[in-house]
Structure 1
Amino acid sequence: MTAWYPLRLSAQVRPLVFGGHAIARRLGRGGLPDRVVAETWEVSDVDGSVGRVLDGPLAGRSLRRLVQDSPEELMGRGWRGDRFPVLTKFIDASGALPVHLHADDHTAQALEGQANGKTEAWHILDAAPGATALCGLKAGVTAERLREALLAQDFDAVMRRLPVRAGETIYVPAGTLHSFGPATLVYEIEQTSDIQQHAMRWRMEDGSPVGDDEWHANLAMLLRECKLEPRPDFGPGLRIQVDDGVERVFLCAGPYFALERWRAGTAAPLRHTFETAQILSNAGAPVTVTCGEAVRELGRAETLLLPAVLGRVEIAGPADVLLGYLPDLDRDVRAPLAEAGYGPGPIAALGEGLGP
C-alpha cells in the first residue's frame, strides 16, 4: 500500500519570447534559470511535459503513472481516466502573448486528433496600471469580418479589450480568441492540453517569422475552431469568511476545474477538507503544509499536489494560497456558496455548468 503524502512535482519551464524575470523577482520563486522565463507548468500531464515526483517514497514516479495505477487514491472515489485532467501554470506576460485560441472538446477530437480541448481561466496575481487583455469578439463580428481583421493583424477592430486588475479572474471557454500582457502576472488553470491556433506572423518560441503558407494555414484552422459568441468578463470571485482571519474566495468554476484563493492571518490556521485532488500553489510568503503525519514546506510561488486520499490540509497563517481541483459542482461549489447566502445568479457567473 502506498503511504500518500503531499507531492512535489518537477515543473516545466518555458522560455517563450513574451516572458521575463517576474516569476523569480516579483513572486520570489527560487531555482529558476537566469534567463527569460515565460511559464512554469506546475502540475502537468501533457504529453512530453509530464511532471515527476521529486521526493519521498514515490520519487521518480510520473504523474501519468500515478493516475493510472491509483486513480481513486489520487483523484477521488469513482474517478477513472488515463491522465491527470488539470494543468496549472504561473505565466509572466512581461510582453504580450500571441493572439490565439484553443479548440473545444468536440473540435479537438474532430480536427486535431486530440482527446480533449482546452478551456482555461486566468487569475491575475499582478498587473501594471493600465494593463489590458484581449478576450472574445465584439458583438456583431461575423466570421468574414474576423478573417479580414486577422489578415490585417488589426485585432482591436474585432476583439474586446478588457481592463486587468490584480485579484480578478476570468473564465475563458474553449474556442475564445484571446491574449493578455504586457506587464501582467497570471496563475492559469486549464484542461490538460497544449493544442492552440495562433494568429501571429511570428513564433512565440523564438520570435522568428512564420512563412506565408504556414500563416494562412494557421488562420484557416483558427477560423474553423473560433467561437464568435463567448464574451467573458473579469470578476472578483465570491468570498466566504471561514474563521477568525481566514477567508475563502471562489474565483471560478466549471466542469473542467475550479480555483479558489484562501488567505489566513495568524488568529486561526487555514483548515480545508477535500474529496478530490488539490493543486496547492503559494501566492504569498513561505508556509508549512500539514496533511496528517506529513509536513512540507512550501516556498514562494511553489506548488504541491495533495492526493484525494489525504482528505485534509492545515496551513498556519499568515498564508495566501491557491487551490485548484476537478470539482463536483454541486458538492464543492454550489453547496458551500448557497450555504453562505449566494444566489443562483452570482454562482452561475463563476464559469460554466452552474446555471439552473
Structure 2
Amino acid sequence: MSAGGRGLYPLRLSVTAKPLVFGGHSIARRLGKSGIPDWSVAETWECSDVEGTSGVVTQGPLAGRSLRRLVLDHPGELMGEGWSGPRFPVLTKFIDAAGALPVHLHADDGAARRLEGQLNGKTEAWHILDAAPGATALCGVRNGVTADRLRAALEAQDFDAVLRRLPVRAGETVYVPGGTPHSFGPDTLVYEIEQTSDIQQHAMRWKMEDGSPVGDAEFGANLDMLMRQVDLDSRPDFTPGLGIAVGDGVERIFLCAGPYFALERWRAGTAEPLRHAFTTAQILSNVGAPVRVRTGTGTGTGTGTGTGSAMLGRAETLLLPAVCGQVEITGPADVLFGYLPDLDRDVRAPLRRAGCPPRLVESLGPATHTRGPAPRTS
C-alpha cells in the first residue's frame, strides 16, 4: 500500500483466528483467505478493537500501531469530524459454522452496563455468504413463551420448543439486537458485523472453546445471567436488503442499518469502476476475486493524506479512514462496506432518492439513534 503525505491512509490490520469447536476450513477453502492457520478455524476477526485482540497495523508508516492507539491519536481523521470515543466502535468477522454455534445471547447496552460492567452491549448482524440447502438459524423467542417456560426448556436443552427456527439463504441478512437468544449452523458461512464487545451468555452444557462439559453449578449460573439479559420480545427476521443502481453495471445493496453499524454489499462489472464517497471510517472486506483499491483524490496516486493504492485479495480486509474520503475499485468486484452510520445522511437519503418506500428502509434495522456521529462512548 502506498501512501503520501502525513496522517492516516488505508490500513491493513492483523487478523485473529479463533479455533472454536464449531469451525472448519471454509474461510480458507471457500472464501480463499490466505495467511490463516491450517487447522480448523471458526472465526477470523477482521477489524477488532476488543480488549486483548485489538488489530495492529501491518504496513506503512504506522506499522505496529494498534487500532486502539489510532482511535485515541487520530479520532477525527479515522472516524470523521466530531467523533470521540475510547475505542473503535465496530467489529467484523468471517464465521465458519461448519457445526452449530452454541445457543447464546449478548447483552444490550443497558444490561451490559448494569450487569457486566461494560461500556456497551453487543447488537450484531449476520450476512449469509453461503449456506447448505435446508440450513437454519435459531433467532429470538417464540411468541407467547414466558420466562419460566424459556428457563425450563433451556435447562432441558430443548431449544426448538421455545426459540424460533428460521430458514437461512445466501445473500440474506438479519439484524440481531442485544438480548436475542440465537445460534446458526451447521454448514453456514457468515460475515458478521457488531458492536465492539465480546460479552456473551451461553445456554449450553459444553464450552465452545474445546467442547468440554460445563458443570451443573456453572451451567445454572450461566442461565441465571442469561435470563436477566434476555429480551422475550425480540424476533428479528432475515431480509434480502435494498439494492440501487449507482453506475453502469454497479450495484449497491443496503444489507442492514441501525444506530451501531450499517453494512452494504457492492458489486461491479467491467463497464466502469465502483466509486464510493464517505465521511466515516469504512471496513472494506472482499468476498469476491482480488481487486485493485484506490483511495483519496482522483485515482489515489496523489500525495495527499488518505491516498493509496493496493490489491485486496480474497477474504482480505482494509480499514479506510474517514480522511480518505472516497474509494475506487476496479471490477469485477464483490465487496462489503461496514461502518458507523449517520442514518439520515448515509442510509435514508440515498434510498429515498432511489424511491424506496419508508417501510422497506425501516426493515433494515431499528433507528434508536440517528447519530451525531453515533451512540457515543466517551
Instruction: Judge same fold: TM > 0.5, yes or no.
Output: yes
Tell me by how many angstroms 1:139 deviates.
0.5
Alignment of 1:97 onto 2:101: yes
* Pairing 1:113-262 to 2, within 5 Å after superposition: 113-262=117-266
**Contact 1:348–1:355 (CA under 8 A) maintained in structure 2:** no
* Secondary structure at the counterpart of residue 156 of structure 1: helix
**Contact 1:347–1:354 (CA under 8 A) maintained in structure 2:** no
Superimposed CA distance per residue, residues 30-72 of structure 1 (whole angstroms, 9 cap, x where no aligned partner)? 1111101000000000001000000001100000000000100
* Pairing 1:1-356 to 2, within 5 Å after superposition: 2-291=6-295, 292-293=300-301, 294-353=308-367
What TM-score, normalized to structure 2?
0.93
* Secondary structure at the counterpart of residue 323 of structure 2: helix
Runs of 4+ in structure 1 deviating by more than 2 angstroms, as ranges, are: 1-4
Tell me by how many angstroms 1:4 deviates.
2.4
Superimposed CA distance per residue, residues 153-204 of structure 1 (whole angstroms, 9 cap, x where no aligned partner)? 0000000000000000000000000000000000000000000000000000
**Contact 1:345–1:355 (CA under 8 A) maintained in structure 2:** no
| Structure 1 counterpart of 2:374 | none
* Whole-angstrom distance in 2 between the partners of 1:332 and 1:41: 25
**Contact 1:11–1:51 (CA under 8 A) maintained in structure 2:** yes
**Contact 1:329–1:354 (CA under 8 A) maintained in structure 2:** no
* Secondary structure at the counterpart of residue 109 of structure 1: helix
Consecutive unaligned residues in structure 2, runs of 5 or more: 302-307, 371-378
* Whole-angstrom distance in 1 between the partners of 2:318 and 2:366: 26
Tell me by how many angstroms 1:354 deviates.
7.3
Q: Which amino acid aligns with 1:103?
A: A
Tell me by how many angstroms 1:355 deviates.
10
What TM-score, normalized to structure 1?
0.99
Q: Which amino acid aligns with 2:54?
A: V
* Secondary structure at the counterpart of residue 322 of structure 1: strand
Instruction: Report how many aligned residue pairs link the two structures.
Output: 356
* Whole-angstrom distance in 2 between the partners of 1:176 and 1:33: 32
* Secondary structure at the counterpart of residue 232 of structure 2: coil
* Secondary structure at the counterpart of residue 267 of structure 1: coil
**Contact 2:129–2:190 (CA under 8 A) maintained in structure 1:** yes
Superimposed CA distance per residue, residues 49-107 of structure 1 (whole angstroms, 9 cap, x where no aligned partner)? 00000000110000000000010000001000000000000000000000000000010
Quickly say closer, same or farther: Cα 1:236–1:355, change in 2 above 3 A: farther
Tell me by how many angstroms 1:3 deviates.
3.4
